[in-house]
């Protein structure tokens, strides 16, 4: 088996996750991490990972099969994906849903002109969740699709709690409403707003002398962030915060509920549960990097999304093996 | 939108489900049901469904885009799929896992020679479950995959109970073990045999004067069928059997549990819950019939399985619409 040679662009939590995920795939080798920072300042998760400056990429198109782009969707990827697609086969996890058509168009133009393949929006949402939304409505044509997020750490809401007077530290988890999920599973097909589908849970360390009841009140009545939700506040110690809330868990549910004939309810439920959101996203990216390499090798140039990728392309196994072992 | 013109071959519970599923798809029209029985003896679910003899197919290749084959995997499909693939684009739900490679080879040869497309094994297992097994191991390379079946009616086990002396009527449900599922969800990655993963529940109507305890004992100690399992027997009335146990529910779970780095557990869970197993399988078949029509139109000839089908091909929506609405 010829190994796919991968490069990582950008080294935050996602890039680190890709580094770890590549090490678990037997048909992949990591050429290196490419960074805009001074390479000597960067400590990688694995000892033998090479770190180079972005400039080094200039001379390397022949040495890399796929670049895995690990920048942010807000300011990095909109520029980086088209730029790098002009020289490399790339995969990204662009996740600003509303701007996907625009991103797709820019990347597609660059990749077509260069004769490369660019697989965008390949994380879990967009990505695996999108595929399950598509399957759900294609199969159960008469029905409704529900996406729930969590239990997961929300950075924006955690920051909002930290800004409250008297708060020394805090994290906030978004949690799917058990009641809402139960109604969907039962085939009720309720109309639910995002706020009806989720509840919020805060773990807060108070500053010395702070009034717990006042802090709780300010949090649960905060407009937009917490007021519209059912919010629970737990007060914990700084030690507990450091010990029990360091991870970045996430997950969610995509549920399609429909009728195949009047009165006959069918549901399909998809549910990832992630102890580390960036490592999970990275694992998805890396499987799609394999698919991107194969699409590029067969001359499928231009932008693609998970909707365009046959499942078999994600697996290291041959089509014969897949049919015999997994079908 | 040009409608895909579908024909149904074989009219049991599955064929009936396909008839209903096609009626829910806006881009499909049903040319008719084709049967080996006398067409006049057959009552369809929908009033305006045309019923014709299999012989009528001879003259119809130009009038049908895809034939949906609804025969059984044991004796019908092994002969029928290759035969009909020699003249039509076809889709089947061949589900004898061990014989898929053999079936694929026979169908592939016929379809390649004829320049048709034949999409096989497209139900939920094989089919949707297979895709989720593939995604699970491609994404979480270090992990284990668990398939649980049920809660579902088992015809073979129901028959076995009915053969017990003193039993007037019975149904048997196969149920995933809650304990086993909990261990898998918790990331324990236990080694589990099929019998450890499932429990059995029987609903039995006694003949007049039968000894309930003796019947229960004979059921739960029946070798192979029940003895190795945790089996519960409920005695009910003939009225309750007729009222509460007429459906053919099924479903199950595919769970992948793995580590993205040492100590960081990730799980992905896929769970259909079907009030009607044949109608659910039929709904999957019909979505894949759309994909088969598209593959045929772009000259992708030969046998294909769900592993070869990009998700977008299943949806009536355009790629642009899918990216804007579902990604």
Looking at residue B66, what is its pLDDT? 98
Distance from CA of A217 to the nearest CA of B (A): 35
Average pLDDT of every residue of chain B: 96
Q: How confident is the model at residue A199 (pLDDT cuts 50, 70, 90)?
A: very high
Mutation site for A-interface testing, chosen from B117, B261, B280, B324 by largest number of A Cβ within 10 Å = B261
Chain A residues within 8 A of B101 when measuring between CB atoms? 320, 323-324
Looking at residue A195, what is its pLDDT? 83
What does the alpha-carbon distance between residue B269 and residue A269 come to, in Å, rounded to a whole number? Answer: 8
Looking at residue B199, what is its pLDDT? 95
Is A122 in contact with A284 (CB distance < 8 Å)? yes
Q: What's the average model confidence in pLDDT over B203-207?
A: 97
Length of chain B: 327
CA–centroid distance for A16 within its chain: 14
3-state class (DSSP) for residue B12? coil
Paired strand residues for A149: A252
Q: Which residues of A236-265 are buried (b: 16+ CB within 10 A; e: fewer)?
A: beeeebeeebeebbbbbbbbbbbbbbeebb
B129-271: CATH architecture: 2-Layer Sandwich (3.30)
What does the alpha-carbon distance between residue B207 and residue A188 come to, in Å, rounded to a whole number? Answer: 39
What does the alpha-carbon distance between residue B205 and residue B168 come to, in Å, rounded to a whole number? Answer: 5
Binding-site residue positions of A for substrate: 149, 174, 200, 250, 277
CA angle B105, B107, B113 (to 5 degrees): 100
Chain B residues within 8 A of A308 when measuring between CB atoms? 310, 312, 319
To the nearest whole percent, how much of chain A has pLDDT over 90? 94
Q: How confident is the model at residue B213 (pLDDT cuts 50, 70, 90)?
A: very high
What does the alpha-carbon distance between residue B180 and residue B250 come to, in Å, rounded to a whole number? Answer: 18
Helix (H) / strand (E) element for A146: namely strand A143-149
CB contact under 8 A, A311 and B135: yes
- Position of tokens 């990832």? A272
C-beta neighbour count of A296 within 10 angstroms = 21
CB contact under 8 A, B283 and A140: yes
- Position of tokens 């782009």? A69
Tokens of B317: 């929506």
Distance from CA of B321 to the nearest CA of A (A): 9
Domain borders along chain B are 4-124+278-321, 129-271
Chain A residues within 8 A of B130 when measuring between CB atoms? 326-327
Handedness of CA A84, A86, A88, A90 (dihedral sign): positive
Tokens of B86: 């020699």
DSSP A225-281: TTTTS-EEEEE--HHHHHHHS-SB-EEEEEEEEEEEETTEEEEEEEEEEESBHHHHH
Looking at residue B172, what is its pLDDT? 96
CB contact under 8 A, A283 and B139: yes
Over residues A235-280, the pLDDT tens digits come to 999 999 999 998 899 999 999 999 999 999 999 999 999 999 999 9
Distance from CA of A26 to the nearest CA of B (A): 9
Handedness of CA B292, B294, B296, B301 (dihedral sign): negative
Helix (H) / strand (E) element for B252: namely strand B250-261
Residue B202 marked as a ligand binder: no
CB contact under 8 A, A273 and B290: no
3-state class (DSSP) for residue A8? strand
| Predicted ipTM of the assembly | 0.95
CB contact under 8 A, B266 and A284: no
Is A34 in contact with A9 (CB distance < 8 Å)? yes
Q: How confident is the model at residue A194 (pLDDT cuts 50, 70, 90)?
A: confident
Chain A residue with minimum CA distance to B315: A138
CATH superfamily for domain A4-124+278-321:
NAD(P)-binding Rossmann-like Domain (3.40.50.720)
Tokens of A262: 């009047």
* B77 CB-near residues (< 8 Å, 6+ apart): B69, B71, B92, B94, B103
Q: How confident is the model at residue B195 (pLDDT cuts 50, 70, 90)?
A: confident
3-state class (DSSP) for residue B158? helix
Looking at residue B194, what is its pLDDT? 79
Chain A residue with minimum CA distance to B249: A266
Distance from CA of A253 to the nearest CA of B (A): 9
Q: Where are the alpha helices (DSSP H) in chain A?
A: 13-23, 77-85, 100-114, 128-139, 155-162, 178-185, 194-197, 212-220, 238-244, 277-297, 319-325
The pairing of strands A143-149 and A250-261 is antiparallel
Over residues B59-95, the pLDDT tens digits come to 887 899 999 999 999 899 999 999 999 999 999 999 9
Distance from CA of B207 to the nearest CA of A (A): 32
What does the alpha-carbon distance between residue B265 and residue B263 come to, in Å, rounded to a whole number? Answer: 6
To the nearest whole percent, how much of chain B has pLDDT over 90? 94
Looking at residue A29, what is its pLDDT? 97
3-state class (DSSP) for residue B147? strand
Looking at residue A1, what is its pLDDT? 58
Average pLDDT of every residue of chain A: 96
Helix (H) / strand (E) element for B286: namely helix B277-297
The distance between the two most distant Cα atoms of chain B, rounded to a whole number of Å, is 68
CB contact under 8 A, B309 and A307: no
What does the alpha-carbon distance between residue B201 and residue B297 come to, in Å, rounded to a whole number? Answer: 48
Assess whether pLDDT exceeds 70 at residue B51. yes
3-state class (DSSP) for residue A38? coil
Q: DSSP class of residue B280?
A: H
Of B101, B266, B308, which has the smallest distance from its Cβ to A275's Cβ?
B266
Looking at residue B257, what is its pLDDT? 98
Looking at residue B1, what is its pLDDT? 58
CB contact under 8 A, A323 and B101: yes
CB contact under 8 A, B311 and A133: no
Distance from CA of B237 to the nearest CA of A (A): 24
Is A132 in contact with B135 (CB distance < 8 Å)? no
Residue B125 marked as a ligand binder: yes
The burial of A55, by beta-carbon neighbours within 10 Å (0-12 exposed, 13-18 middle, 19 or more buried), is given as: exposed
CB contact under 8 A, B279 and A260: yes
- Position of tokens 């010990």? A243
The burial of B298, by beta-carbon neighbours within 10 Å (0-12 exposed, 13-18 middle, 19 or more buried), is given as: exposed
Looking at residue B258, what is its pLDDT? 98
Assess whether pLDDT exceeds 90 at residue A156. no
Assess whether pLDDT exceeds 80 at residue A2. no
Q: How far apart are the first and last CA of chain B?
A: 22
Q: What's the average model confidence in pLDDT over A226-234?
A: 94
What does the alpha-carbon distance between residue A26 and residue A23 come to, in Å, rounded to a whole number? Answer: 8
What does the alpha-carbon distance between residue A128 and residue A281 come to, in Å, rounded to a whole number? Answer: 10
């Amino acid at each position: 088996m010829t190994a796919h040679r991968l490069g990582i662009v950008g080294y935050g939590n996602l890039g680190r996750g890709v580094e770890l995920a590549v090490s678990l795939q037997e048909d992949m080798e990591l050429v290196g991490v490419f960074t805009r920072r001074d390479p000597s300042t960067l400590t990688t998760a694995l000892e033998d990972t090479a770190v180079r400056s972005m400039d080094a990429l200039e001379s390397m198109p022949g040495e890399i099969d796929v670049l895995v782009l690990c920048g942010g969707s807000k300011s990095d990827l909109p520029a980086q994906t088209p730029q790098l697609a002009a020289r490399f086969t790339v995969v990204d996890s662009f996740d600003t849903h509303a701007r996907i058509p625009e991103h797709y168009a820019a990347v597609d133009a660059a990749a077509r002109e260069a004769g490369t393949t660019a697989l965008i929006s390949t994380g879990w949402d967009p990505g695996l969740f999108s595929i399950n939304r598509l399957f759900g409505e294609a199969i159960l044509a008469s029905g409704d699709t529900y996406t729930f997020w969590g239990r997961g750490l929300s950075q924006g809401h955690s920051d909002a709690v930290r800004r409250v007077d008297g708060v020394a530290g805090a994290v906030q988890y978004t949690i799917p409403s058990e009641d809402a999920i139960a109604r969907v599973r039962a085939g009720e097909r309720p109309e639910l707003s995002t706020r009806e589908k989720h509840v919020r849970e805060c773990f807060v360390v108070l500053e010395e002398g702070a009034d717990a009841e006042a802090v709780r009140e300010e949090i649960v009545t905060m407009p937009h962030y917490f007021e519209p939700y059912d919010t629970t506040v737990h007060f914990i110690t700084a030690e507990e915060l450091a010990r029990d809330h360091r991870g970045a868990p996430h997950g969610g549910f995509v549920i399609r509920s429909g009728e195949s004939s009047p009165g006959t309810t069918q549901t399909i439920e998809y549910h990832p549960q992630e102890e580390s959101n960036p490592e999970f996203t990275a694992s998805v990216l890396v499987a799609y990097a394999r698919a991107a390499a194969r699409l590029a090798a067969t001359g499928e140039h231009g932008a693609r999304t998970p909707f365009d990728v046959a499942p078999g392309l994600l697996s290291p196994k041959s089509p014969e093996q897949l049919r015999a072992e997994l079908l």
